Structure 1
Amino acid sequence: MAKWTYLAGIGVVVIGALGIQIGRPVGAATLTSTLTPPHMTASLQMDWPSGPESYLAVSPGGEVGAAGADQPIPVGSVTKMMTAYLLLQKYPLGLYSPGPSVTITAHDVHEYQQDILSQQSVAKVVQGEKLSERKILEGLLVASGNNIAHIAANWVSGSSQAFTQLMNQEAKKLGLHHTHFVGPSGLNPGNVSTPRDETIIAEKAMQIPVFRQIVAMPQISWPDSSRPIENFNYVVGHDGITGVKTGSTLAAGGCFVFSAPRTIGSHTVTIFGAVLGQQGTKQLPQLQSALNDGVSLINQLTAQLKPVSLVQKGQVVGRIQAPWTHSVSLIANQSVSTVMWPGEHVQERIHWSGGQTGSLSITAGSQHWSIPLMLSAPLSQPSLIYRLTRGL
């Protein structure tokens, strides 16, 4: 009897030991990344304009670089981008539609005549004529008529004062922290902004097809005008430049907000940017100086843009290792490539919670991708034999 009691006791001890062994933690599977972030030249090489402030961005992509203090300075007729943008918010317009019309009043004609006397940029108006929304936009963005800016403001808000309040409200909504408007035309030097803020406005407005179409026009026809009105943006239509707006006053100097689509490898991106405050010389007027500098920035950046593969479908991006089995690979389920410039940073992070799938997050500038991942083989669970024999 004592013998069987002894053996039973041993059995209890063995079973207890086996239970403890089986219940012990088996260790966690670990993830090791095999990704190598793309290597780019250390820094962007740019010969920035001598004027006070300049800015460059790529869409999609984000901010590339800037020069100057990034402080509010007068912007002249670049203001009219916001005026046109708000007109289109109030009265959306299709690409091939003239849109609603506004009737020119005696006040509009008087303002036009006063603007001529003070040598402002204008577009002729005649009392009683009807100008379509499209013509108003052309007069704003191509002819850069200060009188047209006030007609648009009155049409949208009832007065230039009320419209100016709307402009500042919209600037705040768009996050333009260094922009302030005192009128719809830009003649007043109290209209101030920065190249970064003006580029944000341009990118936003250029998402509207009819705005994009009009700013790309080298010239327009105009009622009661025997000759076409030339775009003050003399370089539009050359070297792939599609806009956006110029400005030139004594206070603002030469200003140029630009857009230029570029094909880099299999990608199409748009270079956006702005040059503000160019003073020019006796030989080179301030507006021409700003245009030249804008073209130079576009060409310099274009030469440094490169197509870059961030991940390939089927690429092993990480390995899962567990002490009870052989390692398995995490594999990307799609390819991602983009356009990059020297100095741009790429952040990559693998997300895996222990299952059969995961994801890869990639951030480059303002772009973000989430790529699905899958295991190359199922990750097995620890076997009973492994649980019993580990550590022995």
Structure 2
Amino acid sequence: MKKRLTAAILVCLLLFPLESLGVWRQLEGTQVSAKGAALYDPAAKTFLYEKQGDTQLPMASTTKIMTALLVLEHLPLEEEHTIKPEWTGIEGSSIYLKAGEKLTTYNLLCGLLLESGNDAAVALSCLVSGSEEAFCRLMNEKAAELGLVNTHFQSASGLDGDAHYTTAKDLAVLTGVAMAQEEFAAIVSQKTISTGDRVMKNHNKLLTLSQEVCGVKTGFTKKAGRCLVSAARREGRLLIAITLGAPDDWNDHLRLYDSAFALCAPQQVLEGGAAGSALVLSGEKSQVELYYNGSFAPFLTEEERQDVSVQVTGPRTVCAPVQAGKVYGTLQVRLGDGVIYETPVYYKETVEKLPPAKTFWQKIWQGLWGGK
């Protein structure tokens, strides 16, 4: 592996597309109770399983994933807010906000994501956009930005509406973006959070049923039925499962994860060492060797291992002086359309700047033969 990295900056282990391998076809027989379902790898940006994945369906309180994502983009977590009367007594699930009480953005997000408070959703939407209607416009703009072409929002909470829908695949992509936010992932992974005089309990039963589950959000309305978004991590690999309209959602998700992870094993991709070289301008040497530290053995199928590529990103040429141990660029491991691992690439040696006394012909000789 080290020799291949030295020989070429971009290493493609095999050039067959993932879909042609049919590696995940074994999951097609997995039975789920959902009207729409998907299993998604957000790092590789690859769908491993779907059932009516592009069918538009109501999403209930899984809507709050988008609400939380936008709140994190617009409001500081520590900012304190005074609750207005019009944000209280909202239909559906509630954290029972009281007019005049003061809560931080973080407090409200916990109420939104753990207790699924519709009043928290309304309060946060108004704090961001001035009104829930204006916030819904922001939600739909974000959906368009993320390429969620089969999703439309009509509320910040997820109450049923004729123009409020998503698909299992769109919701998976949205959740992948949200889970990449450290603050979001930290909140949805908690079983219980105490904020002030409130103790908020997560409705996501999967956090108790499996130690591998690390989020995300439940939902229910009469129209939508039981909706569940979850994420699970095994051997460092994160997968996201979506079920919409699923009477047996807890078991659906556990079944999908068990079936998918059973196909995977640690696959050695990186072992540390040489990472090629870079051209040096105005230096005592015309090239400088590069290296990276550490190993990487992602949790993949045998077929996926063959589709992995390794790429070093950085300038094609650098100007002397360069110092050994300083960062040159980044080594990326890619799978599908995504980056599943990154690590710094360093200069292996110091190359001093060419002294002014060097003659024109000395510089030509160095450029041709790499001599000093």
Q: Deviations over 1:299-335 (max 9, x none)?
A: 22111112334587899xxxxxxxxxxxxxxxxx988
Measured at CA, do residues 131 and 349 of structure 1 come closer, stay the same or move farther in structure 2, by a change above 3 Å?
Answer: closer
Match among 198, 201, 220 for residue 230 of structure 1 = 201
Give the corresponding residue for 2:350: none
**Do residues 44 (structure 1) and 25 (structure 2) align?**
yes
Match among 61, 65, 68 for residue 84 of structure 1 = 68
Matches within 5 A, 1:289-368: 289-309=248-268, 338-341=298-301, 344=304, 346-347=306-307, 364-367=335-338
Tell me, which stretches of 5 or more residues in structure 2 are unaligned?
Answer: 1-10, 275-290, 312-331, 346-372
Match among 167, 173, 176 for residue 148 of structure 2 = 176
Measured in 1, the distance between the counterparts of 2:68 and 2:22 equals: 40
Measured in 1, the distance between the counterparts of 2:310 and 2:110 equals: 50
Say if 1:61 and 1:339, in contact at 8 Å, map to a contact too: no
Give the corresponding residue for 1:376: none
Deviation of 1:218 (Å): 1.0
Deviation of 1:196 (Å): 1.3
Matches within 5 A, 1:149-298: 149-189=121-161, 190-221=163-194, 225=198, 228-237=199-208, 238-263=210-235, 268-278=236-246, 280=247, 289-298=248-257
Say if 1:346 and 1:362, in contact at 8 Å, map to a contact too: no
The root-mean-square deviation of aligned C-alpha atoms, in Å, is 3.5
Q: Deviations over 1:180-204 (max 9, x none)?
A: 0001000124321111111111111
How many equivalent pairs are there? 289
Measured in 1, the distance between the counterparts of 2:37 and 2:57 equals: 12
SS at match of 2:110: helix
SS at match of 1:134: helix
Measured in 2, the distance between the counterparts of 1:199 and 1:298 equals: 14
Give the corresponding residue for 1:62: 45
Measured in 2, the distance between the counterparts of 1:192 and 1:314 equals: 49
Give the corresponding residue for 1:381: none
Deviation of 1:61 (Å): 2.6
Q: Deviations over 1:96-130 (max 9, x none)?
A: xxx11111122223x34xx2xxxx11011122111
SS at match of 1:172: helix
Letter in 2 for 1:196: K
Say if 2:13 and 2:309, in contact at 8 Å, map to a contact too: no
Say if 2:207 and 2:214, in contact at 8 Å, map to a contact too: yes
Deviation of 1:270 (Å): 0.7
Give the corresponding residue for 1:354: none
Paired-residue identity, %: 30
SS at match of 1:304: coil
Q: TM-score, normalised by structure 2?
A: 0.68
Measured in 1, the distance between the counterparts of 2:135 and 2:31 equals: 35
Deviation of 1:147 (Å): 1.2
Say if 1:37 and 1:310, in contact at 8 Å, map to a contact too: no
Give the corresponding residue for 1:378: none
Measured in 2, the distance between the counterparts of 1:362 and 1:131 equals: 42
Q: TM-score, normalised by structure 1?
A: 0.65
Measured at CA, do residues 34 and 152 of structure 1 come closer, stay the same or move farther in structure 2, by a change above 3 Å?
Answer: closer
Larger deviation: 41-50 or 337-346? 337-346
Say if 2:114 and 2:201, in contact at 8 Å, map to a contact too: yes
Deviation of 1:75 (Å): 0.2
SS at match of 1:156: helix
Measured at CA, do residues 42 and 217 of structure 1 come closer, stay the same or move farther in structure 2, by a change above 3 Å?
Answer: closer
Measured at CA, do residues 145 and 342 of structure 1 come closer, stay the same or move farther in structure 2, by a change above 3 Å?
Answer: farther
Deviation of 1:277 (Å): 1.2
Measured in 2, the distance between the counterparts of 1:249 and 1:259 equals: 22
Measured in 2, the distance between the counterparts of 1:106 and 1:35 equals: 61
Measured at CA, do residues 234 and 312 of structure 1 come closer, stay the same or move farther in structure 2, by a change above 3 Å?
Answer: closer
Give the corresponding residue for 2:83: 104
Larger deviation: 212-221 or 246-255? 212-221
